[in-house]
Amino acid sequence: MPVYKAPLKEMRFLLHEVFGYEREVASLPGYGEATADVVDAVLEEAAKLCEKELQPLNLSGDKEGCTYENGVVRTPKGFKQAYDTFREGGWTGLTCDPKYGGQGLPKVLGFAFEELVSSANMSFGMYPGLSHGAYNAIELHANDELKNTYLPKLTDGTWSGTMCLTEPHCGTDLGMIKTRAVPADKGSGDDGSFRITGTKIFISAGEHDLTENIVHLVLAKLPDAPPGIKGISLFLVPKFLPKKGANGLEAGPANGVRCGSIEHKMGIKASSTCVINFEDSKGWLIGKKHKGMRAMFAMMNAARLGVGVQGLAIAEVAYQNAANYAKDRIQGRSLKGAKSPEKPADSIIVHPDVRRMLLKARAMTEAARALAVWTGMRIDVYAKHPDPAVRQEADDFVALMTPIIKALFTDHGFEAANLAVQVHGGHGYIHEYGVEQFVRDARITQLYEGTNGIQALDLVGRKLPAGGGRLLRRFFHPMQAYLEANMADPGLSEFVSPLVKAFSRLQQLTLFVAQQGLADPEEAGAAASEYLRFFGLVALGWMWCRMAKAAQAKIAAGADAEGFHAAKLATARFFFNKVLPETAALGLSIMAGKKPLMELSEAAF
């Protein structure tokens, strides 16, 4: 059976020792009560929930999956009870506005909580995760009437939410959607509603038995819509129309929203992925007509960061299981002689190749978590800082990091899960050990919310040129300042020196990709995925420098009795000696240009 232990020590190290949570976040307006003690206490309770309630359902939920019959979807055994516990504990409103019944806690805490939930049970996490994305879009773009009607219900978790983009004939190219919206007959009460008709596919949490109502955010086109994505509008379409009841607002009559089927998938089988048919359904416009993509991107960008955290989460739980197995499984002897002569064999963790796999997963995961925490803090700065210039800088940084986090973290999650299978050997291929599920669950993260190739195109095509390079400067300038400030520190030289070289190369490649892309867009496209990985590895290297510095400070102060900080330095050394050198090969491949990709004729494939 798979195991999971929430990495609270890792999270506390990052929040308090590396990034200075009290200084960076707790000091912001509105977060005064979210002290370090409060955050630690919340994470402790979150760990109990995830370890005791959610993780035990992960393997059984995968085996049972969701069931569909006559438009009704039922989640696996135990999911409804777990969701009720989740909702009653206030976890659905952790970072939501107190105005709508939320706790108003920092977004970075929400990031940490998302990781815990997804490590314990990624399928379960899809349901509240989609709801929170819908909450964000409604809060940012809907009118007050829609906010006051739907946000309290999404906050307390009695209602859930979805995002409905994809259609059978279009995925990434949303300008091709056929779902239509027409103004409702004014004689029906003239409530400003529209009638929505169309079919959406791949709708996560589109139908289930966990909540009383489901609020769909649907992309559709009005009769006067201009062609392409400029003609898309966003509508709020509830499964049941709200009505006033004895205890306030409740789900009323059905609204012409029906689940046509559920998908039978490779992974996340306990998450219902649905075909949803809208049949003259009543909906309300969110934001302005023909400006739906702007509103939906509020949800999509948050979702992309959330998917990145899912990749991190799978990597963490896969590593934990692989490390435990490697310490327990005895096979063969150490190449230098028996380590456990009293046993018939040594544990496989003595073997260099097993250590290589474990350390690759660990080094990437710990750095990814650091980048996630730092990015979460930037979201809080954007939300709460009194200085508009500081808020803009933070928002720019998050925008730049979004495609990197989504693609890099999910690629890593899938790789770490595969490494866990390899460490387990034949047992990794067996369902009861649980690690093969991690591989299957991780695979979708590289696909949904925009495939990782799309993330790379977003980075080179949109983020690099944005504002004349303004977004890039939000990363390059502070990193340059950090390296210059720490270059002379002899204790950090083994980490800073290789990062300086990689960072310099990143700057050169950025200029190369920009210049080549201006002359020929296919050149930028050919370099995009490798450039994103190069950029991401440099960002993770920066995180490792910061972690190494914090660890050295604790060791120097004699505060490392358990060896936690010494382990941090050892893992940092692995990253800089065994992982960061990947950038050399990536750089050579980027410089090779598009010709190796494009010269083969289409007919030859």
Burial category of 395 from C-beta neighbours within 10 Å (exposed 0-12, middle 13-18, buried 19 and up): middle
Match 């090779």 to its residue by tokens.
Answer: 592
Contact 417, 410 (CB under 8 A): no
- Averaged over 522-531, what is the pLDDT? 98
In whole angstroms, give the CA distance from residue 401 to residue 371.
9
369 and 235 belong to one structural domain: no
134 and 208 belong to one structural domain: no
pLDDT score at 190: 65
123 and 199 belong to one structural domain: no
C-alpha triplet 523, 527, 531: angle, nearest 5°? 145
pLDDT score at 58: 98
pLDDT score at 247: 79
**Integer angstrom CA distances of residue 495 from 387, 504, 544:** 34, 15, 8
- Averaged over 97-116, what is the pLDDT? 98
Q: Would you say residue 148 lies in a domain?
A: no
Q: Is the pLDDT of residue 189 over 60?
A: no
Q: Is the pLDDT of residue 297 over 90?
A: no
Among 296, 327, 356, where does a domain finish? Answer: 296
Q: Is the pLDDT of residue 188 over 60?
A: no
Residue 230 belongs to domain with CATH number = 2.40.110.20
Q: Would you say residue 310 lies in a domain?
A: yes
pLDDT score at 187: 58
* Catalytic sites, residue numbers: 449
368 and 270 belong to one structural domain: no
Contact 319, 365 (CB under 8 A): yes
Quick one: which of 310, 376, 544, 378 has its CA closest to 39? 376
Residue 105 belongs to domain with CATH number = 1.10.540.10
In whole angstroms, give the CA distance from residue 365 to residue 417.
11
Contact 456, 532 (CB under 8 A): yes
Q: What share of the chain in percent tops pLDDT 90? A: 92
167 and 77 belong to one structural domain: no
- 459-510 pLDDT, tens per residue? 999 999 999 999 999 999 999 999 999 999 999 999 999 999 999 999 999 9
113 and 99 belong to one structural domain: yes
What confidence tier does 174 reach under pLDDT thresholds 50, 70, 90? confident
pLDDT score at 229: 84
361 and 428 belong to one structural domain: yes
Q: Would you say residue 153 lies in a domain?
A: no
Contact 120, 50 (CB under 8 A): yes
Q: Is the pLDDT of residue 185 over 80?
A: no
**How much is the mean pLDDT over the chain?**
96
Pairing of strands 257-262, 248-254: unpaired
Q: Is the pLDDT of residue 226 over 70?
A: yes
- Averaged over 301-326, what is the pLDDT? 96
- 570-603 pLDDT, tens per residue? 999 999 999 999 999 999 999 999 999 999 999 9
What confidence tier does 447 reach under pLDDT thresholds 50, 70, 90? very high
In eight-state DSSP terms, residue 434 is S
413 and 492 belong to one structural domain: yes
pLDDT score at 173: 76
496 and 515 belong to one structural domain: yes
Q: Is the pLDDT of residue 172 over 80?
A: no
Q: Would you say residue 485 lies in a domain?
A: yes
Q: Is the pLDDT of residue 204 over 60?
A: yes
Task: Locate 294 and state its tokens.
Answer: 């702007």
359 and 287 belong to one structural domain: no
Residue 449 belongs to domain with CATH number = 1.20.140.10
Q: Would you say residue 547 lies in a domain?
A: yes
Domain around 64:
8-141
pLDDT score at 186: 66
Q: Would you say residue 184 lies in a domain?
A: yes
pLDDT score at 374: 98
* Count of structural domains within the chain: 3
Among 141, 174, 206, where does a domain finish? Answer: 141
Among 296, 312, 328, where does a domain finish? Answer: 296
DSSP alpha helix (H) spans, 385-469: 388-424, 435-443, 452-458
Q: Is the pLDDT of residue 544 over 90?
A: yes
509 and 428 belong to one structural domain: yes
440 and 490 belong to one structural domain: yes
Match 């994505």 to its residue by tokens.
Answer: 229
**Integer angstrom CA distances of residue 56 from 322, 437, 544:** 18, 14, 33
Q: Would you say residue 147 lies in a domain?
A: no
Q: Would you say residue 152 lies in a domain?
A: no
What is the enclosing helix (H) or strand (E) of 69? strand 67-69
- Averaged over 315-344, what is the pLDDT? 97
Report helix, strand or coil for 352. Answer: helix
